[in-house]
């Protein structure tokens, strides 16, 4: 059994069976809100029966925006008994003990902050559930939490005429609905369409001359600033993509990380370059660091680590056009598995 976590420690990430419609849950997706994790031996233990009733009695605390509750059951018999109560209340079925051993065993409560760091920890006992719930009720709103996110903002990466050319290229080439990478049950990467999560139309830049012009601007204007801000030498890029988020479909992209499936694990920094300004909504947010909205001016970039949770808010007027490459380095190339976008050398 691993040791209990202390305040300030990062909570371990895992994927485990869960009472979700999907049947499992990738825990790092719960970031961006407060999380209560309650590890128990069995949902039928008298103390746990009382604790879970107390959670249900105050279920309004757990709306999946401000906070979520996750039980972790060590009892294999709980599989048929427990159900998710959405939003906000879920249970992991920890038959193999993977979660328990990472968190120091059953009979323990943790309160995690939106970065999934331990903010509070307690051994289970009479009255502890109420104490945890009172603490959750008194937490600051996630909107006020933390920040600023470690995002590098650069204006003037693309000139206005170049932005216009890219938008014209997208319009002339046409777009297709943008899918997402997920992992199947064997951990293989697959692309799926899920309009509840991502509503965007994409166009890959296949014109070699135009691709070269995008690259040249990244080399001159983005690579040196990544070196300065993040001490990282970007030598490669992939996904020369132009994207359109349209108000007519409430174009948006739910909270995700960019490097969590094998085909994308080599990606190090996302470069999000806005091509226009005549739209509303469509801002980037980084939920682990509060809800500050990031919106580069036309031609400006937001550069951020592919490990950060981020989302694009719905576009409510007009269309947001963006150019969305990823950059990485030679070490990442060596780790690279089958990416759908061949890498391009951008420096050296």
Ligand X SMILES: O=C(O)CCC(=O)C(=O)O
Residues that bind ligand X (CB under 6 A): 243, 253, 258, 272, 284, 310, 312, 322, 324
Work out what residue 284 binds among ligand X, Fe ion, none; the CB cut-off runs from 5 to 8 Å by kind: ligand X
3-state secondary structure of 263: helix
Q: Closest separation between CB of residue 259 and Fe ion, Å? A: 9
Nearest to 222 by CA among 137, 320, 126, 325: 325
Cβ proximity to Fe ion: between 39 and 203 the closer is: 203
Nearest to 2 by CA among 77, 73, 118, 97: 97
Cα gap 185→199, rounded to integer Å: 25
Q: Closest separation between CB of residue 166 and Fe ion, Å? A: 19
3-state secondary structure of 46: helix
The residue range among 30-38, 147-155, 178-186, 255-263 that interacts with Fe ion, by the rule CB under 5 A, is 255-263
The residue range among 22-30, 222-230, 250-258, 273-281 that interacts with Fe ion, by the rule CB under 5 A, is 250-258
Cβ proximity to ligand X: between 82 and 271 the closer is: 271
Work out what residue 142 binds among ligand X, Fe ion, none; the CB cut-off runs from 5 to 8 Å by kind: none
Cβ proximity to ligand X: between 103 and 286 the closer is: 286
DSSP state of 342: -
Residue whose entry in the numeric block shows the structure tokens 């951990």? 187
Q: CA distances (Å), 284 to each of 231, 258, 272, 278, 322, in order?
A: 23, 14, 9, 16, 12
Q: Closest separation between CB of residue 207 and ligand X, Å? A: 21
- The verdict on 258 binding Fe ion (CB under 5 A) reads yes
Cβ proximity to Fe ion: between 75 and 258 the closer is: 258
Structure token pair of residue 200: 């965007």
Cα gap 334→162, rounded to integer Å: 33
Asked if the peptide bond before residue 268 counts as cis, ω within 30 degrees of 0, the response is: no
Reduce the secondary structure of 165-231 to three states and give it as a string: HHHHHHHHHCCEECCEEEECCCCCEEEECCCCCEECEEEECCCHHHHHHHHHHHHHHCHHHHHHHHC
Work out what residue 322 binds among ligand X, Fe ion, none; the CB cut-off runs from 5 to 8 Å by kind: ligand X
Q: Closest separation between CB of residue 337 and ligand X, Å? A: 18
**Residue of minimal Cβ distance to ligand X:** 272
Q: Closest separation between CB of residue 284 and Fe ion, Å? A: 9
- The verdict on 283 binding Fe ion (CB under 5 A) reads no
Work out what residue 324 binds among Fe ion, ligand X, none; the CB cut-off runs from 5 to 8 Å by kind: ligand X
Cβ proximity to ligand X: between 291 and 310 the closer is: 310
- The verdict on 238 binding Fe ion (CB under 5 A) reads no
Nearest to 115 by CA among 304, 289, 258, 269: 289
- Total binding residues for Fe ion by CB under 5 A? 1
Interacting residues with Fe ion (CB under 5 A): 258
């Amino acid at each position: 059994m691993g040791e209990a976590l202390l305040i300030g420690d990062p909570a371990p990430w895992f994927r485990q069976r869960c009472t979700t419609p999907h049947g499992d849950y990738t825990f790092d997706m719960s970031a961006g809100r407060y999380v209560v994790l309650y590890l128990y031996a069995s949902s039928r233990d008298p103390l746990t029966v009382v604790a879970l009733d107390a959670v249900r009695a105050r279920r309004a605390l757990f709306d999946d925006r401000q906070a979520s509750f996750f039980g972790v059951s060590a009892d294999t018999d709980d599989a048929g008994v427990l159900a998710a109560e959405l939003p906000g209340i879920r249970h992991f079925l920890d038959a193999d003990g993977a979660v328990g051993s990472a968190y120091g065993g059953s009979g323990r409560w943790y309160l995690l902050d939106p970065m999934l760091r331990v903010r509070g920890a307690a051994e289970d006992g009479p009255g502890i559930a109420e104490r945890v719930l009172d603490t959750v009720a008194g937490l600051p709103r996630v909107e006020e939490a933390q920040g600023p996110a470690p995002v590098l903002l650069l204006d003037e990466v693309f000139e206005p005429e170049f932005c216009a050319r890219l938008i014209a290229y997208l319009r002339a080439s046409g777009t297709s609905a943008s899918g997402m990478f997920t992992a199947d049950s064997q951990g293989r990467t697959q692309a799926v369409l899920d309009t509840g999560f991502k509503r965007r139309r994409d166009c890959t830049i296949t014109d070699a001359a135009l691709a070269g012009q995008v690259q040249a601007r990244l080399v001159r204007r983005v690579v040196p600033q990544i070196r300065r801000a993040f001490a990282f030498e970007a030598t490669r890029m992939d996904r020369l993509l132009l994207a359109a988020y349209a108000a007519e479909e409430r174009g948006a992209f739910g909270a995700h990380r960019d490097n969590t499936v094998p085909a994308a694990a080599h990606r190090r920094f996302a470069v999000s370059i806005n091509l226009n300004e005549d739209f509303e909504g469509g801002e980037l947010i980084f939920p682990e660091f509060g809800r500050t909205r990031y919106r580069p001016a036309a031609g400006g970039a937001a550069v951020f680590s592919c490990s950060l949770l981020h989302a694009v808010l719905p576009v409510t007027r007009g269309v947001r056009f963006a150019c969305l490459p990823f950059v990485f380095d030679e070490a990442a190339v060596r780790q690279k598995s089958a990416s759908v976008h061949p890498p391009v050398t951008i420096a050296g």
